[in-house]
Structure 1
Amino acid sequence: MWLTVEEEFISAGVNAYALGCTDEGLRKELVDMKESGVEIEGIQSYGGTTSLKSKIASEEVEECILWLSIIFITILCTPQPTIVRWSSTPPVSDEERLKWKGFCALIANAYYVRGMAWLPVKTLQLEQMAVVGHAEEPSVVASRMRLVFSTLEVVSPQWPRV
């Protein structure tokens, strides 16, 4: 079975959480890789498969760490124990946890309590407004919501796989 890039990323994030990684530790690793000039290999498909090598950009590091933080916080919002963590160190900084816990908790509540697989984007934008004072674009919010729901499906499946 072929996994999508998103499924592979979530799987890697869940493993990183279980192994005791933190957002700050992973940020340091990625920044060190970026500064060393290492090239990463990516695959893009435009009617065929093309392998590309590129350097890591600073904005990619920050977005990657944000997505990993959302995965970690989502796991924290699951009924215990879904994933055993091999470290007592908190997986995310207090700042990131405060920014994203409500967002992830709203989605986890919809998932576990109401059996939903989607929430209105406006509801999540209102959560962002209340916590950080601004809301992201609807497409970005929807993408982050999909990440949370997909993470929940990996760590605590509620429905049979089709």
Structure 2
Amino acid sequence: MKEFTSLAILLYECGYTEDTVRQEMASASLQDLNHDECLLYTCVVWITLMLAPSKTVVRWATKGVPVTDATLELWRGFVSLILSAYFEKRMAWYPVDRLQLEVSAVTGRLENPSTIAEFARLVYSTLHMVAPQFPET
């Protein structure tokens, strides 16, 4: 998780966008990788960086937004709930059932709790790297 998050943050800093990552993955011959899932995880990291109140990561691109409006709309509420819990309430975890309701309301389909927990873990991992508030265990 740490390696993936670090790489996603580096791509964000270097100015990659959702479309450029999609093109790079399409041109690479990575057969064992689910490209859509990898791109979605990358976008969730980027949305976390975009919405975080403390801007500790600098994006060096002068043009192009990191994620499409459609992706941002799908995941803004989910990430915002975790950001609020992390920065305002100092919660190290957010209830999965509430996050599941948020995703269900936006997408119209019910995701598996383990999938929702993985996305939450990804957001918290990103926050821990860029704005640590809790001791590492």
> Structure 1 residue 9 and structure 2 residue 4: aligned?
yes
Aligned to 2:52: 78
Q: In structure 2, which of residues 76, 79, 85 is the aligned counterpart of residue 101 of structure 1?
A: 76
* Between structures 1 and 2, the one with greater strand share: 1
Q: In structure 2, which of residues 112, 116, 136 is the aligned counterpart of residue 141 of structure 1?
A: 116
Unaligned runs of 5+ in 1: 1-5, 40-54
Aligned to 1:29: 24
> Structure 1 residue 64 and structure 2 residue 38: aligned?
yes
> Structure 1 residue 113 and structure 2 residue 88: aligned?
yes
1:31 counterpart SS class: helix
The percent identity for this pair of structures is: 40
Residue by residue, what CA displacement relative to the aligned partner does 1:44-92 show, whole Å, maximum 9, x if unpaired? xxxxxxxxxxx345xx111100000000001112114221101132100
Q: CA deviation at 1:30?
A: 0.3
- The total of aligned residue pairs comes to 136
Amino acid at match of 2:37: E
Relative to the length of structure 2, the TM-score reads 0.93
Amino acid at match of 2:107: V
Distance 1:65-1:150 versus aligned 2 partners, 3 A rule: same
Structure 1 Cα separation of the partners of residues 57 and 110 of structure 2:
30
Structure 2 Cα separation of the partners of residues 80 and 21 of structure 1:
21
Unaligned runs of 5+ in 2: none
Structure 1 Cα separation of the partners of residues 69 and 2 of structure 2:
26
**What is the RMSD computed on CA atoms of the aligned residues?**
1.3
Relative to the length of structure 1, the TM-score reads 0.80
